[in-house]
Structure 1
């Protein structure tokens, strides 16, 4: 099992290095069962702000599930800016996922990122961030930090 996990991570790393959206999509799906793999959170944070692929929502979900504290800055950046293929989404679903991920990470840095996002020029993003701040204490069982 461990070698399969290492192979999966290696395929994911290679897809990121090559900026190969198709292989990245396949490798990302395979990495969801991985937990606490050294370097995985850092790689996901890097890919979250990259614009060469089309799986940002899945990356944000993986970051949320893994509670990747190193991804706070990437989540904040991505919540503030949709990739070009999602510019049509006036509901900013990706930003919503990013604010949930920040809330579930639960660190002081994550809360500070939400506070900055609550002042966003994008009205819906402000609302998503403020809701996570308002519910911070009610959602402590979800938090990683």
Structure 2
């Protein structure tokens, strides 16, 4: 059921459909990758809420999307000066997921050329 609803949101690109996924917990098999696609979609403004919720869901298949999101600039967040807070939440979410893949993603952030991302990667590793 959840997968079909997420696919609908991805297809319709309706930001209101995203709002419910930012606040809901999912643990259905295969849903993590779909939520990851939704996290990376540039047409909504729920990225920060979603990644915050992903920390409690902690599905391993979310790792690639959370890592990519940490390295993606969303114009509305840059303009609203919340981009860096979002990046930090991505690092904490990777630490909460706690898989080997998540640790590798944090290590890559910790080696980033961007000093702020590097700091957040190191923080995530400390909270491992």
* TM-score for the superposition, normalised by structure 1: 0.77
In structure 1, stretches of 5+ residues that fail to align are 1-5, 137-145
Distance in 2, Cα, partners of 1:59 & 1:90 = 14
CA RMSD of aligned residues (A): 2.0
Match of 1:49? 40
Decide whether the 8 Å contact of 1:80 with 1:120 is kept in 2: no
Decide whether the 8 Å contact of 1:45 with 1:63 is kept in 2: no
**Alignment map for 1:12-31 (pairs within 5 Å):** 12-25=6-19, 27-29=20-22
Distance in 2, Cα, partners of 1:17 & 1:119 = 36
Decide whether the 8 Å contact of 1:42 with 1:70 is kept in 2: yes
Structure 1 or 2: more helix by fraction = 2
Aligned in 2, Cα 1:91/1:42: closer, same or farther, shift over 3 Å?
closer
| 1:20 CA displacement | 0.9
In structure 2, stretches of 5+ residues that fail to align are none
Match of 2:97? 105
* TM-score for the superposition, normalised by structure 2: 0.86
| 1:112 CA displacement | 0.5
Query: Bigger radius of gyration, 1 or 2?
Result: 1
For the residue of structure 2 that corresponds to 1:92, the secondary structure is: helix
Match of 1:125? 117
Task: Select which of 80, 84, 95 maps to 2:87.
Answer: 95
| 1:96 CA displacement | 0.7
| 1:58 CA displacement | 1.4
Total equivalences in the alignment = 127
Match of 1:79? 70
| 1:11 CA displacement | 3.8
Match of 1:58? 49
Aligned in 2, Cα 1:9/1:71: closer, same or farther, shift over 3 Å?
closer
